[in-house]
Structure 1
Amino acid sequence: MPRTILCYGDSNTWGYIPSRSDNYQPASRYKRHERWTGILQVLLNSKYLIVEEGLNSRTTHIDYFHMPDRNGKTYLPSCLYSHAPIDLVILALGGNDAKSYFNSTPEDITAGMGDLINIIQSSSYGPEMSTSPRVLIITPPIPLPVAEECVDENGVLFFNGGIEKIKKLPLLFEKLANEKTCEFLNLAEDIRPSSVDGIHYEKEAHRKFAVRVEEKTKLIFGDRY
């Protein structure tokens, strides 16, 4: 049986194609083989099953006033059960929590990530449906300055101040991972978002992301499977 890896993320897991930040456009999506999850499946081959659960605008634990389905904490329990048994859950979230709508601090965002970890670790959706899955936290990319010019569908700037918040997450997420006995991967500095909107990955970044996650996955499982 292949190991199951659930990739629980936001628009960079969904495969959002960068678009002009100052002119809202409907989302366009990379093809599966271009997204980091699809590339990861090829790299890890049939020994692993990569389950993609990316959603644009997903937060760790916050409701949008007009998009309640974007709350990652609310959806996670049923998502885990749907795909169980799961060997590893990758959490690639936190960037949307930094939007100016929410007035969240870096500590608030970290607490939201902690809530997700608690849900996973208190479940029995791991191997043999008798233990909990392992958890890997991945840092969100540090946005480029152009991100602060991004507008939503109503023409409202939504990322003012978000860059400085996200810059503080790697240290906080690493500390959280140590406290919760989780795995941690900091890609914030190594893999940069597109200069088009300052938030989303281009194709080459998806490839680099997949390679780094492949390496980490093999370390987690001892590459002995």
Structure 2
Amino acid sequence: MTPKTILCYGDSNTWGYVPSNDHSLPKARYPRHERWPGVLQILLGDGYYVVEEGLNSRTTNLDYAPPPDRNGKHYLAPCLYSHAPIDLVIFALGGNDTKTYFNRSAEEIKNGLAELIDIVQTSEYGQKLQASPKILITTPAIPMPFVENYLDENGVAFLRGVVKKVECLIDLYAQLAKEKNCFYLDISKEVKPSEIDGVHYDSAAHKQCAAIISKKIKSIFKE
């Protein structure tokens, strides 16, 4: 039997950014077997092929400078084609859109993700290259309140209001899933960011994230 291909399209927590409160140091990355997509592969087994497409600072559809190429909309179509045929696309995005630089409401972030969903649903990169892949929308984890005091190199509090926005996204993503006929999973009740930086997952959170997504995937494919 051909394994089902699962594409994990996300940001730094999909990439495996190791939590750190010293942003002057080079970014560290968990090895594949500790990142949630890698753990997901282990849990699902040989009947699935899990593709990691995580990128630090990735947004839904916003340009981010610096660094460049973080706009999730720009890369999505070639990414789908590259890994086709795909059975399921998992979106794990929205957290970076909450940054104050973008002055974006939770509703606008929802609309940004909707544009990515449209790209997937109007493609033919699913089964036999004749249909679109299924989609699973996952929520961000809720950041810890202290992150709202973080300052960038210019002294700007770039995460002010993010906790409230992410809390709003939980319900808005559920609405979006209904509107677009997608699957939905709220991971925020069980997956918590590290106390080190209040945003990124530690190894235990990656395992927890993979466990609940694995259960959802098996439900989607009725296993």
The reply to whether TM is greater than 0.5 is yes
Q: Distance in 2 between matches of 1:25 and 1:146?
A: 21
**Per-residue Cα deviation, 1:40-63 (whole angstroms, up to 9, x for no partner):** 101111100000000000000110
Q: Distance in 2 between matches of 1:55 and 1:163?
A: 21
Counting only pairs closer than 5 Å after superposition, residues 114-125 of structure 1 correspond to structure 2 as: 114-125=114-125
Q: Secondary structure at the match of 2:102?
A: coil
Cα pair 2:190 2:208 within 8 Å, conserved: no
Q: Secondary structure at the match of 2:79?
A: helix
Identity over aligned pairs, percent = 55
In the other structure, the counterpart of 1:72 is 72
Q: Distance in 2 between matches of 1:59 and 1:215?
A: 26
In the other structure, the counterpart of 1:195 is 195
Q: What residue ranges of structure 2 are gaps of 5+ in the alignment?
A: none
Q: Distance in 2 between matches of 1:186 and 1:82?
A: 28
In the other structure, the counterpart of 1:94 is 94
Report the CA distance between 1:64 and its aligned residue.
1.2
Q: Secondary structure at the match of 1:110?
A: helix
Counting only pairs closer than 5 Å after superposition, residues 145-164 of structure 1 correspond to structure 2 as: 145-152=145-152, 156-164=156-164
Cα pair 1:138 1:185 within 8 Å, conserved: yes
Q: Distance in 1 between matches of 2:132 and 2:155?
A: 42
Q: Tell me the TM-score normalized by structure 1.
A: 0.95
Q: Distance in 1 between matches of 2:195 and 2:40?
A: 24
Runs of 4+ in 1 over 6 A off after TM superposition: none
Report the CA distance between 1:152 and its aligned residue.
4.2
Q: Distance in 1 between matches of 2:125 and 2:100?
A: 35
Q: How many residues align?
A: 222
Cα pair 1:24 1:153 within 8 Å, conserved: no
Q: Secondary structure at the match of 2:100?
A: coil
Q: RMSD between aligned alpha carbons?
A: 1.3
Q: Tell me the TM-score normalized by structure 2.
A: 0.96
Task: Decide which moves more: 147-156 or 109-118.
Answer: 147-156
Report the CA distance between 1:153 and its aligned residue.
5.7
Q: Secondary structure at the match of 1:190?
A: coil
Report the CA distance between 1:183 and its aligned residue.
0.2
In the other structure, the counterpart of 1:60 is 60
Q: What residue ranges of structure 1 are gaps of 5+ in the alignment?
A: none
